[in-house]
Structure 1
Amino acid sequence: MRILFVCLGNICRSPTAEGVMRQKLAKAGLGQRVQVASAGTGDWHVGKAPDTRTQVAARQRGYELAGQRAQQVKAADFDHYDLILAMDHANLAQLERLRPTANQTPVALFLRYTGGPVDDVPDPYYGGSQGFEQVLALIEAGCDQLVAELGGQP
């Protein structure tokens, strides 16, 4: 199975989800069965590493994101991935506009896996360090639920 996490610029939320999910899949013994990646709907940061603040917050919780590089989602991704998860409603709408006609790849909000009252993972880019911590907490909860759904232990 192949999962793509998508946010706006692919330097904060979606690379965090990719890194967290990759580690949780490995711990659950699913690392060989499920592949993950991330992309952004915008092209501003293509080729760049995740935001420094994102990397610091992730590293403090044991996740390493430094090796990732931003990329932009493309129409071909709908044929390559089995599940595409958007970090918020705006990116979900952009993905639906980009979706090739007749493509049936499931596209959903990432936080549907938490069962909580929040739908969107907020973009921490213009805020302080607390925003990056909040994003990590939401993403960890969502990844735990997703791993459980895929057959691993959260």
Structure 2
Amino acid sequence: MVNVLFVCLGNICRSPMAEAVLRHKVSERQLADQISVDSAGTGDWHIGNPPHEGTRRILDLHGISYENMKARLVSGDDFEKFQYIICMDKSNGDNVRKIPGGEHSELLFFMDLLPEAELREVPDPYFTGNFEQVYELIDAGCDVLLEQIIKDKLQQA
């Protein structure tokens, strides 16, 4: 099983959106028995809450489920479980590295999946309100990530 974890600040906007989008793509490709997707945050303000209403609205618009998703914190156990830990911005990466076990973990940054994009970090729609822009980035990046996982992990198995 390949395990993917998306990380943002509060785990209510960007990372749950990425979790839902990648889960949807994994399901469409009938790979749910081979790829598991989760999300977490580095801040504790929203623990136990569902995704932000803006995230839910954009996912609804695209017919993507976020059922049973609740915000949680990144934990030390995540560094053992997940092969892919993907941070939405540098600040999230810095915060993950402060968690015991995270200092030596290999982190990926979401926008590295889209090297042609001008942005180098996924904007936080909690502050910008631009959920559509974030969805477009996440949708494109998840396509790249899924192909990379299939090529690197699943074809080797």
TM-score normalised by the chain length of structure 1: 0.90
Q: Would you say the 8 A contact 1:25–1:147 is kept in 2?
A: yes
What residue is the counterpart of 1:145 in the other structure?
Answer: 144
> Partner of 1:37: helix, strand, or coil?
strand
1:109-144: CA deviation from partner (whole Å, max 9, x where unpaired): 01211222322110011333xx10000000001100
What is the rounded CA distance, in whole Å, between the counterparts of 1:48 and 1:101 in structure 2? 24
Matched, 1:109 2:109: yes
Structure 1 residue 99, shift from structure 2 partner: 4.8
Which residue of structure 2 lines up, in the alignment, with residue 62 of structure 1? 63
Q: Which residue of 2 aligns with 1:38?
A: 39
Distance 1:10 1:102 in 2: 20
Aligned counterparts of 1:102 and 1:7: Cα–Cα separation in 2: 17
Secondary structure class of the residue paired with 1:98: coil
Q: Give the aligned residue type for 1:139.
A: I
1:49-106 C-alpha deviation (Å, 9 max, x unpaired): 0011110011101212242000000112111111100000100111122252774x42
User: Corresponding residue for 2:94?
Assistant: 93
Give the number of equivalent residue pairs: 149
SS in structure 1 opposite 2:125? coil
Q: Which residue matches 1:136? A: 135
**Secondary structure of 1:39's partner?**
strand
Equivalent residues in 2 for 1:10-25 (5 A)?
Answer: 10-25=11-26
Give SS of 1:44's match.
coil
Is the contact between residue 28 and residue 147 of structure 1 (CA under 8 Å) also seen in structure 2?
A: no
Q: Distance in 2 between matches of 1:114 and 1:102?
A: 25
* Counterpart in the other structure of 2:155: none
| Worse-superposed segment, 108-117 or 132-141 | 108-117
Alpha carbons 1:78, 1:99 under 8 Å: kept: no
- Paired residue secondary structure (1:126): helix
C-alpha separation between the residues in 1 aligned to 2:51 and 2:66? 7
Displacement after TM superposition at 1:147 (Å) = 0.8
In structure 1, what is the equivalent of residue 154 of structure 2?
Answer: none
CA root-mean-square deviation: 1.6
**Preserved CA contact (<8 Å) 1:46 1:70:** yes
* 101 and 137 in structure 1: CA distance in 2 versus 1, 3 angstrom threshold: closer
Structure 1 spans left out of the alignment, 5+ residues: none
Distance across 2 between alignment mates of 1:101 and 1:58: 30
> TM-score, normalising length from structure 2?
0.88
List alignment gaps of at least 5 residues for structure 2: 152-157
